[in-house]
Structure 1
Amino acid sequence: MAITACSEVDDAADPSDAAGVIALAGAELRLDPAGGLFWPAEQMLIVADLHLEKGSSFAARGIALPPYDSRATLMLLAGMVERWRPRAVVSLGDTLHDRRAGSRLGPAERDLLAGIGHGREMLWIAGNHDPDVVPELGGVHLPELAVGGLVLRHEPRAGAVREIAGHLHPVARVVRRGRAVRRRCFATDGRRLVMPALGAYAGGLNVRDRALAGLFAPSFEAHLIGGARTYRLAHHVCAPDR
């Protein structure tokens, strides 16, 4: 069911949503409906949890999945780079699904990475799946990054504010008139933001789960990803998973 045609989500969404523009600790950020975050003041595109080569990792364990997840994920990223033309791209960890995933990237995926990085800075934050420097990615590898009064890191830090993080793969579920939509989302309370996972095979954790909801003030928002826009939802209209 296409979310852009789902009146149930439109009914639940905040009509004052300014085309995916949000404020985080004084910074103005733009939500891309492909799952990235553009920061105009820094000319920076931020993504999280690409989990490249998850398909080949599963295949090595005898679980057959179509081997096109890395290409699909990188094409999403390439599309966002084309839209925003950032000076820098930051990936908030778990760019690769495991320590050996870089060596499994095929020629088409390496070409996509080269095109994405051409003429711009590529910054790779360490994640729990890829804590070490990955030569195949090039660019700069960092444990975290402080920029413009915000800290960009992989895993949200308890008690921290003014941070943008990934790791938890937030999704929101909305039920209206007996119909349910469950989609990736950005989750924020205006002090910290948790990014959706970009990876084609990445799973998701419901924003009502304690691991996510417990990070935020009592009131927070989920910005549900649609086909051409995002949908801002108050936390209380997001339903738990059954």
Structure 2
Amino acid sequence: MVPFSFAGQEWHLGAARALFWAEENALLVADLHLEKASWFARFGQMLPPYDSRETLGRMADAIRATGATRVFCLGDNFHDAAGPERLESHAAGMLEALTRAVDWVWITGNHDEKGGAAPGTYVPELAVRGVALRHVAKSGETAPELSGHYHPKLRIAARGRRIARPCAVMSDHKLILPAFGALTGGLDAGDPAIVRAMQPAAAIDALVPAGERLARFPVWRDPLWQDGRAPG
């Protein structure tokens, strides 16, 4: 995982799309969308029913690699309210073991029930060390904030090919995490919906781990800031 600074604290972003918060010894992920494949199956679109196993397996790997003792899931944890009931026994056992091993906090998103469907603590949002943890970035928020919801992806052209990679999106005081779930699409990191959610901002960058460094790609700049004038 690659270290970087945000909100005056140390963080580590991994290629597996998880964020490690050193000061809290905590792992943060967004948009697991557990049981998305089984949700599609209910409507006749048959997909391999192993997305929850893969997602939870990567969660277990990330917890082991970081030694995290807390996990914050930033919303859209299951794909729908009935998702926990559809978990097959193996995936249910994985989730039970993980939530017993660490302090697990579910922040509820627009796909989620308000609480009680799976083991852990449920909150609509939370502030830790002055950092707001919520599912959807609050436009106009000026305090440090971590969120998910948009599944940002960096799309670039290289050597005649179009490449898309899950990424985090960061401004001076906002950070949107990539979707962690195995069966999730993505929105372009520079999409107007993401730019609006990140305001107020002078600059917005996409962050992509690349080996032992963190590649930063500018996706939006305030025109006034570009001209050397104060933004706003």
> Normalising by the residue count of structure 2, what TM-score does the alignment of the two structures yield?
0.88
Write the letter of the residue equivalent to 1:109: A
Contact map agreement 2:96 2:119 (CA 8 A) in 1: no
Give, in whole Å, the separation in 1 of the partners of 2:183 and 2:115.
23
Question: Quick check: 1:234 aligned with 2:225?
Answer: no
Pick aligned residue for 1:179 from 150, 161, 172: 161
Residues 54 and 233 (structure 1), Cα distance of their counterparts in 2 relative to 1, 3 Å cut: same
Greater mean alpha carbon deviation, residues 162-171 or residues 107-116: 107-116
What is the match of residue 168 of structure 1?
150
Aligned-residue offset at 1:78 = 0.8
Residues 119 and 201 (structure 1), Cα distance of their counterparts in 2 relative to 1, 3 Å cut: closer
Give, in whole Å, the separation in 2 of the partners of 1:114 and 1:228.
33
What is the match of residue 81 of structure 2?
99
Aligned-residue offset at 1:229 = 6.7
Write the letter of the residue equivalent to 2:122: H
Aligned-residue offset at 1:96 = 0.3
Give, in whole Å, the separation in 2 of the partners of 1:225 and 1:54.
26
Equivalent runs, 1:46-195 vs 2, <5 Å: 46-135=28-117, 137-161=118-142, 162-195=144-177
Residues 190 and 22 (structure 1), Cα distance of their counterparts in 2 relative to 1, 3 Å cut: farther
Question: What per-residue deviation string (whole Å, max 9, x for no partner) do you get for residues 125-184 of structure 1?
Answer: 01100032133x211000111001100000110111310000011000111232221011
Aligned-residue offset at 1:225 = 5.0
Unaligned runs of 5+ residues in structure 1 are 1-18, 237-242
Give, in whole Å, the separation in 1 of the partners of 2:19 and 2:52.
20
What is the match of residue 205 of structure 2?
221
Give, in whole Å, the separation in 2 of the partners of 1:172 and 1:122.
29
SS of the residue 2:101 aligns to: coil
Question: What per-residue deviation string (whole Å, max 9, x for no partner) do you get for residues 197-242 of structure 1?
Answer: 0111111000111011232424221112568875332326xxxxxx
Contact map agreement 1:184 1:225 (CA 8 A) in 2: no
Unaligned runs of 5+ residues in structure 2 are 221-232
Contact map agreement 2:2 2:213 (CA 8 A) in 1: yes
Contact map agreement 2:2 2:212 (CA 8 A) in 1: no
Higher relative contact order (CA 8 A, sep 6+): 1
Write the letter of the residue equivalent to 1:155: V
SS of the residue 1:110 aligns to: helix
Taking only the aligned residue pairs, the percentage that are identical comes to 39
The structure whose residues are more often strand, as a share, is: 2
Give, in whole Å, the separation in 1 of the partners of 2:137 and 2:146.
8
Give, in whole Å, the separation in 1 of the partners of 2:77 and 2:209.
20
Write the letter of the residue equivalent to 2:163: V
Contact map agreement 2:11 2:19 (CA 8 A) in 1: yes
Write the letter of the residue equivalent to 2:115: V
Contact map agreement 1:184 1:204 (CA 8 A) in 2: yes
Aligned residues: CA RMSD: 1.9
> Normalising by the residue count of structure 1, what TM-score does the alignment of the two structures yield?
0.85
Give, in whole Å, the separation in 2 of the partners of 1:195 and 1:80.
15
Give, in whole Å, the separation in 2 of the partners of 1:108 and 1:179.
39
Give, in whole Å, the separation in 2 of the partners of 1:84 and 1:152.
20
SS of the residue 2:23 aligns to: helix
Give, in whole Å, the separation in 1 of the partners of 2:111 and 2:213.
30
